Amino acid sequence: MEELIQELKERIIDALNLEEMTPDDIDAQAPLFGEGLGLDSIDALELIVLLEKNYGIRLANPAEGKAIFASVETIARYVSEHRTK
Amino acid sequence: MSANVVITGQGIVSAIGIGAEAVLDALRHGRTGIGPMRYLGSSHHELPVGEVDLSNEQMKAMLGIESSREVSRTSLMGMLALRQAVDEARIAHLKHSRPATRVVLVSGTTVGGMDITERHFGELLDGDYTHLDSLRQHDCGSSTELMAAHIGLFDEATTISTACSSAANAIILGARLLEAGQADVVVAGGTEALSLFHLNGFNSLQILDTQRCRPFDDSRAGLNLGEGAAFVVMEREGDAATRQAHVLGYLTGYGNACDAFHQTASSPDGEGAYRAMTQALEMAGLQPRDIHYVNAHGTATPNNDLSESAALLRVFGNDLPPVSSTKCYTGHTTSASGSIEAVICLLAMRHGFVPANLGWATAMPGGITPSLGIEHHVIDHVMCNSFGFGGNDSSLVFSRQATNAADAALADVDVKVLAEVDIADDEQLVDIRNYVKPLEARRMGKIMKSSLLASLKALQQAGIETPDAIVTATAWGCLEYSERLLEQLRDEGEVLLKPTYFMQSTHNTISSNIAMRLKCHGYNVTYSHGAQSLQWAMRDAEMLLRSGRCKTVLVGLHDEMTPTLRQLLQHLGIEVAPSSFHSKAIVLSC
C-alpha cells in the first residue's frame, strides 16, 4: 500500500500540475478537496481520468468520486480493490 | 437617432428543422430532434445528439457549392441560415437601392472549422500536406469570412467567441452598432457544428447524458450536444419602416455580465445570470411581471439548472412567468444556441405559445418548475437566456412593440489610454509569481499566464482595481492546449480528454480568467476575427465609453503560436509573428 500511495502522489502532482510540490508535501490522510489541498471539481475530473488511464477504473458518475477522492489513502484503498491493470 | 431595434428577418438550421416553419411545427408538436448519431463519425454511440439532418454534400448542393470543395460544416450551416434570414428581410438588393447602407455580419462561434482540422490533423503531423489548405478554415474568424463571401452582401464582418453565449453576444453587438449609428443593417447570430473535439471534451467534463436531456428535472444527468445555426436581420425601426419591411419583433433589452466564479461552473446564486437578466429588463424599461415567457439556458446539467433557477427566482420572485428550455428539442447548440433560441422566442411570441420543456417529471430541490407547454398564450415580452463557460452570461428581451428604450447615441468624448503593457517572452512571465500562487496557476497555460500578468500590470499602472468592462481579442485562442487535445485524439482515440486542456480550449477562457481574478462582473466579450480581432475589441471599448455605459475598459490582445502550427502555416505562406506568445493589455478611460 505504501508503494501505491507514493505512486499516486507522484501521478497526482503530475496530472494536476502541482508545481513546486513533492510527494512528501502531501499528507496521505489529509483531505484533498476543500480545506486540505484546496482542489476543485476540475481536479476531480482529472483524478477520474487518472484512474481510468493508469488503473483501468471507470467512474461513470462524478458523484461517486466524492468519497473515493477524500484523501490519497482512500484513493489507494479504492485502487487496490478495483484496479484492472 | 431612434435606438429602437427591430428584427426583420430570421434564418434557422437545427435538429428540429431547416427554416422557421419546420422549427415551429416541431415545437408545437413536442417533437425532439435529439437521437442517435448519424453524421458525426464518433465512436460514442451511447451519446444522443441533436444533429442537423443534412450531410455536408447535401448542404453544398443546396448552396451551389462544388462538392469537391472542402468547407467546414460550421460555415455551411451558417450560410444556409444566413440565406434564409437575408431572403426573408429582402435586403439582398438593399445595397443597390440605398448605396450608403452599411451592412455588417456578426457571427458567434467557438468550434469554427475544427471539424475540418480534426479530420486532417493526423496526416499533417505525419508530413502529408495534401490537405494543408484546410488550416485556412481553422480559426473562428475565417468561418465567418467564408460565410460573408458566400452571401456577398456585407461591408464588414466580425466574430464573437464567448462559448455558449456567443450568438447572444453577437445579437447584442448588432444592436449596439445600430444604436451607435455604426451600421444600418446587422445580420447577427451564430453557427456551430458538432466536432469530435468538443464532443469528447464535454464527455471528459462528465456533463453529457446518455439519455435524452431533462432540463430542470430532479433526475437530470447532463446535456446532449446539438449543432445548428441561426441569424436575425436587425435594423433601426425608422429604416425598416421607410422600406416597409415586415417586423418580426423588437429587441428591447439586453444584458451582458460575467459570473466571475469558475471556468466550467456557475455560482450557486447565479450572480452573472441575475445581473444579465436585470440589465436586460432595466434597459427595456420592464418589470419582471411584464415578461410572459422565459426561454431558459437550461442545459440540463446539475449545476446550470440549479444556478439558473436561483437566478430566476432572484429576478422574478413570485412573478415567475412560464419558463422552458428548448435544448430538449435541439440539443445544446453551444455557440449557436443564443440565436437559435432567439428565433424560437420570436416564433413563440408571434404565434402565442410556450414550447414544452420536454422530459420534465419531477421537481428538483431549489429548482423552478418549467412549463410543459401552453398552446394559447399571449406573449408581449419574452426573455432569452444564454450562459457560457467562464461565466459569460447574456440575456435578451424581445417585444411585440417598442418599449421606452433609452437614447443610446454616442457622446463626443475623448478616449484616453491610461496604460499599455506587453508581455512576449518567458523572462517577463516569471513575474506572474508576484501575483498568483503556483497552486492557483496550476491549470493556466502560457497564454493564460501572460494575459493575466499583462492585465494586472496595466491596471496597476493605471491605478484601477477593477475595470467596468473587459474586452478581449484573440485570433487563435489557447492554441497550445487545443493542439495537445488534437494530438491526444490522434494518439489515443476517443478517450477521456484531459479536462484541464479542454476547459481552456474555448477562446473566452482568457477573458473570464481575468474577470475571475478581478471579481469583475461587468461586460465581458471576446473577439476572434483573425488579424482584425484587436481592432474590433478597441471599437467595442470605445462604444462602451462613449455611450456612457463604462468609465474604464480593459482591452487585451492575447495570442500564442505552437511550433507545429507555425511550421504548417509557413508552408501555407501565412506570415506568423516570431514570438511563441504575445499579450497586450490596454486600459482605456474617458
Please name the residues between 152 and 211 in chain B that touch chain A, using a CB distance below 8 Å: 204-206
> Which chain A residues contact residue B263 at CB under 8 A?
42
Check residue B463 and give its pLDDT: 98
Say which CATH superfamily domain B5-399 falls into: Thiolase/Chalcone synthase (3.40.47.10)
| A41/B265 touch (CB, cutoff 8 Å), yes or no | yes
Give the E-state strand segments of B114-214 in sequence order. Answer: 156-160, 185-192
Residues of B in contact with A65 (CB under 8 A): none
- Nearest residue to B164 (alpha-carbon basis) of B328, B385, B7, B382: B385
What's the rounded Cα separation, in Å, for the pair B343 and A79? 50
Average pLDDT over residues B495-500: 92
The alpha-carbon radius of gyration of chain A (Å, integer) is 12
What confidence tens digit (pLDDT) does each residue in B165-198 have? 999 999 999 999 999 999 999 999 999 999 999 9
Q: Where are the domains of chain B?
A: 5-399, 416-589
B271: cell is 450572480
pLDDT, residue B207, reads: 95
**Considering only the top CATH level, what class is A2-82?**
mainly alpha
Q: How far is B496 from chain A (nearest CA, A)?
A: 6
Decide if A19 and B263 are in contact by the 8 Å CB cutoff.
no
Cβ of B503 under 8 Å from any chain A Cβ?
A: yes
* pLDDT for B158 beyond 70: yes
Cβ neighbours for A73, distance < 8 A, ≥ 6 positions apart: A5, A28, A29
Q: Indicate the SS3 state at residue B422.
A: strand
Domain-by-domain residue ranges, chain A?
2-82
What is the average pLDDT across B453-481?
A: 97
Report d(CA B510, CA B68) in Å as an integer: 37
What is the rounded distance in angstroms from the CA atom of residue B141 to the CA atom of residue B572? Answer: 17
User: CB B204 to CB A49 under 8 A?
Assistant: yes
Give which of B571, B445, B546, B450 is closest to B128, Cα–Cα.
B571
Residue B305 CB neighbour total at 10 angstroms? 28
Provide the pLDDT for residue B408.
67
Average pLDDT of the residues of chain B? 95
B265 Cα to chain A: minimum distance (Å): 9
Alpha carbon distance A9, A24 (integer Å)? 9
Enumerate the residues of chain A whose CB falls inside 8 A of the CB of residue B264.
Answer: 41-42
Strands B469-473 and B523-527: parallel
B445, closest residue in chain A (CA to CA): A17
What average pLDDT score do residues B75-96 get?
93
For residue range A29-56, list pLDDT tens digits in order: 999 998 778 888 899 999 999 999 999 9
DSSP per-residue letters across B327-371:
HHHH-B-GGGHHHHHHHHHHHHHHHT-B---TT--SPPTT-----
Chain B contacts of A45, Cβ < 8 Å? 204-206, 499
pTM summary value: 0.97
Q: Distance between CA atoms of B504 and B375, rounded to whole angstroms?
A: 42
Domain B416-589 grouped into CATH 3.40.718.10: no
Residue from the list A17, A42, A61 with its beta carbon closest to the beta carbon of B264:
A42
Whether A1 and chain B come into contact, CB under 8 Å, resolves to no
Most B CBs within 10 Å, among A21, A22, A41, A51, to test the B interface: A41
Catalytic residues of B: 164, 297, 332
Residue in A17, A53, A62 nearest the CB of B443: A17
Chain A: residue whose CA lies nearest to B202:
A45
pLDDT given for residue B60 in this prediction:
98
Q: What is the arithmetic mean of pLDDT over B481-490?
A: 95
Residue of A nearest to B500 (CA): A42
In the predicted model, what is the mean pLDDT of residues B504-530?
Answer: 97
The nearest alpha carbon in chain A to B201 belongs to: A45
Asked if B551 contacts B589 with a C-beta cutoff of 8 angstroms, the reply is yes
Neighbouring C-alpha atoms within 13 Å toward the C-beta of B531? 4
ipTM field:
0.90
Residues 42-81 (A) with a CB less than 8 A from some CB of B: 42, 45-46, 48-49, 52-53, 61-62
B408 or B516, greater pLDDT: B516
Identical fold at B5-399 and B416-589?
yes
Q: What pLDDT, on the 0 to 100 scale, is given for residue B1?
A: 41
What's the pLDDT score for residue B219?
Answer: 97
Q: What is the pLDDT at residue A80?
A: 95
Whether the per-residue pLDDT at B98 is higher than 70: the answer is no
Q: Please report, as a single letter, which amino acid is at residue B78.
A: G
Number of Cβ atoms within 10 Å of the Cβ of B557: 22
List CB contacts (< 8 A) between B442 and chain A. Answer: 16-19
Q: Do B443 and A42 touch (CB under 8 A)?
A: yes
* HSE-CB for A23 with a 13 A CA cutoff: 12
Q: What number is the average pLDDT over the span B556-574?
A: 94
Binary contact (B495, A19; C-beta < 8 A): no
pLDDT confidence band for B77 (50 / 70 / 90): very high
